[in-house]
Copies of this chain bind each other. A is one copy, B any other.
Amino acid sequence: MMTIREKTKRTIERYNMLYSGETVLVGVSGGPDSMALLYLLMDIRNEYGIALKLAHLNHGFRKEAADEAEFVRKTAVSLGLPVIISSIDVPAIKETDGLSAQEAARKARYAFFAEAAEEAGASMVALAHTADDQAETVLMRLLRGSGPLGLSGIPPVRKISSQESGGRRQGPIIIRPLIECSRKEIEKYISERNIPFVTDSSNLKMDYMRNRVRMELLPFLEGYNPNIKETLVRTADVARRDNEFLDMEAESAYQSLIPHPSSFIPTDNSGITLDFKVLKKLPEAVSSRVIRKAIKAVKGDLKRVSFQHISDILSLMDYGEGKWSLHLPDVTVSREHDKLLLKRGEGRR
């Protein structure tokens, strides 16, 4: 049996997460997962030549929030590490931006990590997502039908986009060193080392679907496959590998389909034109992703665009010479002669 320390190191090496000389900002809620991450990184920091700083975001949702922030501050002091603590008013963001509580919290969290990383001179932000979180995510995506892209789950390493980081040119990289460790292994580590933590009740309340998957569906599936969590984590790995390659292929096809900035229609009639014949010659695995990229470029995001919409477009593309239009949420896709036009607005469904 591998120890959790060995497993974490294996994950770090498998995904090239750490470089000597870097400062890593550790996102610490004060809960068991993030406290275990912090102690594990402390334990290996000399080996990897990294410096650690803590970051805590006070969500301001619950009255325990102030106590949690205080716990994280004291932890940092006792460990002799710098800490950045910030408060946000998620309900206010929710109100202003018309987002769900979860979307608002997510948006605030990423913007905070980007800002705190800049302030701390850290190029990396370590988060404490576990194999259990991964398995839950994969199942939730499968139930929702978000396709193979969704099945790739939580990425072990990813860049915070410039949009997510509030327009910063250079967003930090998110790393998840515990993504292959189970919650059970973490609990064992926490109790063996007597690591203090606060019980974070927010997880249990905020995401109803995730909790149902965790408490009810995963235990049920263990009746079919006792190693279902590991199985789902591996499925996510393979799906991610496939998607990265397919996305690379789609990106280069997309770039070649939009060779000049002039093929972008000006903003007042904001849209994109793709060469229909070239698009039709691509394998569907690639053309479907090129269409998603074009929709995202026109609409700003892919919200409410299902893979059924994309399949409908691919089916329509098979219809001889005729003209057609398809109304998606906030986007209209139409064929005119040898062009596929994507325009903002006019969405009907």
Contact = CB atoms under 8 A, between A and B. Distances in A.
Interface of A: 14, 142-145, 147-148, 151, 209, 212-213, 217, 220-221, 224-225, 228, 231-232, 234-235, 237-239, 241-242, 244-246, 248-249, 283-286, 288, 307-308, 311, 315
B288 A241 contact: yes
A180 B27 CA distance: 46
30 contacts: A14-B315, A142-B142, A142-B235, A143-B224, A143-B225, A143-B228, A143-B231, A144-B231, A145-B225, A147-B238, A148-B151, A148-B239, A148-B242, A151-B151, A217-B220, A234-B307, A234-B308, A234-B311, A238-B288, A238-B307, A241-B283, A242-B246, A244-B283, A245-B249, A245-B283, A245-B284, A245-B285, A246-B246, A246-B285, A248-B283
Contacts of A221: 143, 217
Nearest to A239: B148
A329 to B, nearest CB: 18
Copies of this subunit: 2
Contacts of A225: 143-145
A145 B236 CA distance: 10
Given A142-B142, A147-B239, A148-B151, 19 more contacts: A14-B315, A142-B231, A145-B225, A145-B232, A145-B234, A148-B148, A148-B242, A151-B151, A209-B224, A212-B224, A213-B224, A217-B220, A217-B221, A234-B308, A234-B311, A242-B246, A242-B285, A245-B285, A245-B286
Interface secondary structure of A, over-half rule: helix
Contacts of A209: 224
Contacts of A288: 238, 241
A38 B54 CA distance: 67
* The 4 A-B residue pairs with the shortest CB-CB distance in the complex, in nearest-first order: A245-B285, A145-B231, A245-B283, A147-B238
Given A148-B239, A246-B245, A315-B14, A224 B234 contact: no
Nearest to A140: B224
Contacts of A234: 145, 147, 307-308, 311
Nearest to A238: B147
A295 to B, nearest CB: 16
A145 B249 CA distance: 26
A308 B180 CA distance: 14
Contacts of A224: 143, 209, 212-213, 217
A311 to B, nearest CB: 7
A244 B288 CA distance: 14
Contacts of A143: 221, 224-225, 228, 231
A145 B246 CA distance: 21
A228 to B, nearest CB: 7
A305 to B, nearest CB: 14
Contacts of A232: 142, 145
A15 to B, nearest CB: 11
B145 A235 contact: yes
Contacts of A244: 283, 285
Contacts of A144: 225, 231
Contacts of A248: 283
A231 B238 CA distance: 21
A235 B244 CA distance: 18
Contacts of A142: 142, 231-232, 235
